[in-house]
């Protein structure tokens, strides 16, 4: 993955850059040479080279070292030939930079020392700027230089999913404390989400200014809410983040799990692309999202653990159903599981490209 020297050879294809890549074109609902593919959590524990480099480095520390961020982000691009890289980081990195004491515990996820439950707790979340996350600014710049024509996706957690970790103090199945606060003290809830939207927007701006080609807003746990509650308690805040980036001109992807009932509302938040999990076929999802947005998804990550003929049939089905959408970025319905054989991921990339290649001209 090195940058080609512009103009080195007049017979070379003109270098068009990541803004004209198959991934960005699909996000913009423009035709491209093939359906682009990348995988959520492609940089991570399914790769032996990742486990090796992380052997003696804690997760948060690795997110704060531009050399490691760059290497880990490039690993799946080199190995699989995916159409986009995603910045190696975590959704809690900006909240830690904003002053919240937390750690990422192996096998558990983010754990917050003192959960946020009061107005005074909300005030502990400071606004951030580039000086608070200079390691992200530096890593993105290094990556953009290394990646050449391959686009880099920046990302952040959406206010609801971040609030869930901060209020619960860690991962939760029911989000009970989060919902209790939301229903019991709507003013405090909105104050918390307002503060988180500021942090998220600032974090995405840093990445945009440093040169990412697209951004993804992860609202992984939004599917825990009814459509009515999503619209009342979450949509205004996610909308502020996504519309706050409109002036960058970058494609914005909005993703959650278990969001079949929320797909239309999530599209209304201002995304160009809506991420869909495996529960909703892409043609059905497109019916709910409308013709003005592309879709991303939606292979069940567990299918990758099945024999190859099963994987192949599912990939073909998803490409078929994705044709109903005005743009399709192939992905999983959620992140790569650590036990996935990386060779299967490489084969999926090759298959998606082969099946979807359109004749030039």
The strand pair at 102-105 and 109-112 is best described as antiparallel
In the bound state, the residue with its beta carbon closest to ligand CP3 is 220
Tokens representing residue 278 in the block: 């495996």
CB-wise, 331 or 356, nearer to ligand CP3? Answer: 331
Among 15, 28, 34, 45, binds ligand CP3 (CB under 6 A): 45
DSSP secondary structure, 166-223, as one string: HHHSS--SS-HHHHHHHHH-HHHHHHHHHHHHHHHHHHHHHHHHHT-SEEEEE-TTGG
Grouping H, G, I as helix, E, B as strand and the rest as coil, residue 32 is coil
Known catalytic residue at 194? no
Known catalytic residue at 54? yes
For residue 282, the surrounding DSSP H or E stretch is helix 282-289
Q: Where are the beta strands (DSSP E) in the chain?
A: 85-86, 102-105, 109-112, 152-157, 214-218, 252-255, 273-275, 294-299, 328-332
Known catalytic residue at 16? no
Q: Which of 54, 240, 252, 293 is catalytic?
A: 54
Among 21, 35, 42, 286, binds ligand CP3 (CB under 6 A): 42
Stretch that binds ligand CP3, among 18-26, 39-47, 179-187, 322-330 (CB under 6 A): 39-47
Known catalytic residue at 45? yes
- Its sign, for the CA torsion 18, 19, 21, 26, is positive
Residue 295 CB, nearest approach to ligand CP3 (Å): 17
Residue 9 neighbours by CB under 8 Å, 6+ apart = none
Among 32, 35, 46, 54, binds ligand CP3 (CB under 6 A): 54
CB-wise, 90 or 261, nearer to ligand CP3? Answer: 90
Known catalytic residue at 288? no
Print the binding letters for residues 5-34 with ligand CP3: x by CB under 6 A, - otherwise: ------------------------------
Backbone angles phi, psi at 296, to 5 degrees: -130, 130
CA distance 200 to 269: 15
CB-wise, 56 or 131, nearer to ligand CP3? Answer: 56
Stretch that binds ligand CP3, among 26-34, 41-49, 141-149, 315-323 (CB under 6 A): 41-49
Q: Which of 20, 28, 90, 283 is catalytic?
A: 90
Residue 96 CB, nearest approach to ligand CP3 (Å): 12
Cis ω for the linkage preceding 249 (within 30 of 0): no
Is 59 a binding residue for ligand CP3 by CB under 6 A? The answer is yes
Print the binding letters for residues 326-345 with ligand CP3: x by CB under 6 A, - otherwise: ---------x----------
Helix, strand, coil % in the chain, rounded to nearest 5:
50, 10, 40
The residue ranges that bind ligand CP3 (CB under 6 A) are 40-45, 54, 59, 86, 88, 90-91, 104, 106-110, 155, 161, 171, 218, 220, 335
């Amino acid at each position: 993955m090195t940058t080609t020297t512009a103009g080195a050879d007049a017979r070379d294809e003109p270098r068009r850059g990541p803004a004209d890549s198959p991934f960005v074109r699909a996000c913009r609902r423009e035709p491209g040479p093939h359906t682009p593919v990348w995988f959520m959590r492609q940089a991570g524990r399914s790769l032996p080279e990742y486990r090796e480099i992380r052997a003696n480095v804690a997760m948060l520390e690795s997110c704060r070292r531009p050399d490691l961020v760059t290497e880990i982000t490039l690993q799946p691009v080199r190995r699989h030939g995916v159409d986009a890289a995603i910045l190696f980081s975590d959704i809690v990195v900006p909240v830690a930079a904003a002053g919240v004491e937390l750690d990422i515990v192996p096998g558990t996820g983010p754990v917050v020392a003192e959960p946020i439950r009061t107005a005074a707790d909300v005030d502990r979340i400071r606004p951030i700027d580039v000086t608070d996350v200079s390691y992200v600014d530096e890593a993105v710049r290094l990556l953009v230089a290394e990646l050449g024509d391959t686009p880099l996706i920046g990302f952040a957690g959406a206010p609801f999913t971040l609030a869930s970790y901060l209020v619960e103090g860690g991962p939760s199945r029911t989000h009970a404390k989060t919902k209790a606060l939301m229903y019991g003290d709507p003013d405090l809830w909105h104050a918390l989400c307002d503060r988180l939207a500021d942090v998220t927007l600032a974090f995405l701006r840093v990445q945009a200014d440093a040169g990412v080609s697209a951004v993804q807003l992860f609202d992984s746990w939004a599917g825990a809410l009814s459509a009515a509650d999503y619209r009342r308690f979450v949509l205004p805040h996610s909308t502020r983040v996504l519309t706050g980036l409109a002036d960058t001109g970058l494609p914005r992807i909005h993703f959650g799990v278990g969001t079949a009932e929320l797909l239309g509302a999530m599209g209304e938040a201002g995304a160009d692309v809506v991420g869909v999990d495996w529960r909703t076929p892409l043609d059905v999802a497109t019916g709910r999202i409308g013709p003005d947005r592309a879709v991303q998804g939606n292979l069940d990550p567990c299918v990758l653990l099945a024999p190859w003929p099963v994987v192949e049939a599912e990939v073909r089905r998803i490409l078929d159903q994705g044709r109903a959408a005005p743009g399709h970025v192939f992905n999983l319905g959620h992140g790569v599981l650590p036990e996935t054989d990386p060779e299967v991921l490489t084969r999926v990339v090759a298959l998606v490209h082969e099946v979807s290649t359109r004749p030039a001209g």
